[in-house]
Each structure stands twice: as structure tokens, then as C-alpha cells.
Amino acid sequence: MSSWTELLERPEPKQHVVQLYGRDDQLLTRHVGQYLAEGLRRGEGVLLIATPAHTQAIVRSLGEEDARLAASAADGRFLALEAAPTLSRIMVDGEPCRARFDEIVGTRLQELRARPPRGGVRAFGEMVGLLWSTGQTSAAARLEEYWSGLVEPEAVSLFCAYPIDVFGGECAADTLKSVAAGHTHVYAAPRTLFASPSNRSRPH
């Protein structure tokens, strides 16, 4: 199995990884910055859907990529959306609406795919994590399904995150199994990486 660094720097199309980060989000934002920075270096499209605090930290972590980030934003290859307002536009009666998700998120992924040089697209999304953190687990699972529905046909690599501290005793085995089911790889910060059982039969 690839290392976590390899998964972030050279993700396969349709790869869907998740980081469980607990209360310490510094490692998360550093990893997301690494993931996006490599995408910028490769000329790929990037979609960032995060909280304002995480967006600020992620952009700051790009460091020397500032020039590439500005150029990518100018030519439409870097798009940033705020997680909570975007999520509110997708939700209907307490559940995510597939049509709205496709319109809001799917359209932007298609726009990124259409930009020259028509390379890969990397996305980081925090909307599922927001649902999870407020106890809306069924809605979170549904939104994961919608993301997977876009990742597969669009050949996008996706990085998402859950505020779960695996080592703090708050994560039951069935919870971890549920989270892993929708992802190709799970990283439980700061030291554990494993492939989801569903990844064994998933094409890349």
C-alpha cells in the first residue's frame, strides 16, 4: 500500500481519502496544504471547500506556492468555497439534496476539468465533517455517497476530514467501519493509515 505522503502527492483518479484529526487540526491543514500544493505544481485544478479558519491555515501553508495559487485563481483552476454556506445551499429538510449538490459542486468540478491543460482535479471538502460534528450522521453518510458519485465519473481525487479522535476513546468500532466504507484510505492522525475494505475491489 502507498504511504500517506504518496497518496497526497500523487493521488490516483477516483481516490477518496479521509483524515480523522480529533481536536488538533494543525496536522490536517498541513496535509491539505501539501495535497493542494502538489496539485498546483502539476497544473491541476483544485477545489477547496473548508471553514474560514481552515482555509486561512491551508492557504498560509502553501508558502512558496503563493505565485502559483494566484495564477491558478486568476485562470479559474483554483476555486474556494466556504463550507457552511455551501452546505446550507445543499440541504433540504435536514438532508442533502442530490440535485443541488450536483449543481453547486458538480458544476464546479466540471469547470475545473475543462480548464487547460485538462489535467487532474483535486478536491478537499469539509461539509461532511460539519454534518458529522453536529450529530447528523445519516446526512453525512448520504453526502459521502453524493461525493463518490462525482469522484468516479469525473476522475477526481478527493480528500475529506472528520473531527474524530480515534485514540481518545470516542470512536467505536462500528463508527470507524462506517466512515471507512466510503473511502479508499483512512488516515487516523498522527500515525495510522489503512486501506478501506471497500478499496480492495474498487477500480483506480
For 146-203, the pLDDT digits (tens) are 998 888 776 789 999 988 865 555 555 566 676 777 788 888 866 666 665 555 334 3
| Cα-Cα-Cα-Cα dihedral sign, residues 5, 110, 126, 202 | negative
Eight-class DSSP state of 172? -
| Distance, CA of 26 to CA of 38 (rounded, Å) | 19
| Distance, CA of 117 to CA of 115 (rounded, Å) | 6
How much is the pLDDT for 124? 97
Three cell numbers at 109? 468540478
How much is the pLDDT for 200? 39
pTM: 0.86
Taking 70 as the pLDDT cut, the residues of the chain under it are: 1, 63-65, 117-118, 154, 165-176, 178, 189-204
Q: Could you give the domains of the chain?
A: 4-201 (3.40.50.300)
How much is the pLDDT for 127? 97
How much is the pLDDT for 202? 41
Helices (H) and strands (E) in the chain, counts: 10, 9
How much is the pLDDT for 168? 56
Q: What is the dihedral of CA 161, 163, 169, 170, to 10 degrees?
A: -110
How much is the pLDDT for 46? 92
The helix/strand/coil state of 161 is: strand
How much is the pLDDT for 13? 82
How much is the pLDDT for 68? 75
| Distance, CA of 99 to CA of 126 (rounded, Å) | 19
